[in-house]
Amino acid sequence: MQSPNSILITGASSGIGEALALAYAVPGRQLWLTGRDSARLAAVADAARAKGARVTAAALDVLDRQALGDWIRAADDGVPIDLAIANAGISGGTGGGDGLSGETEEQARRILAVNIEGVLNTIHPLIPRMVARKRGQLALMSSLAAFRGMPGAPAYCASKAAVRSYGEGLRGELMGQGVQVTVICPGFVRSRMTAVNTFPMPFLMDADRAARIVVQGLAANRARIAFPWPTYAVSWLLGVLPPSWTDALLAQAPRKA
Indicate which residues carry an active-site annotation. Answer: 156
- Is the Cβ–Cβ distance between 31 and 56 less than 8 Å? yes
CA triplet 244, 257, 233: central angle to 5 degrees?
45
Distances (CA, A) of 80 to 6, 77, 86, 173: 7, 6, 16, 22
Residue 2 carries which DSSP code?
P
Closest CA to 182 of 94, 229, 119: 119
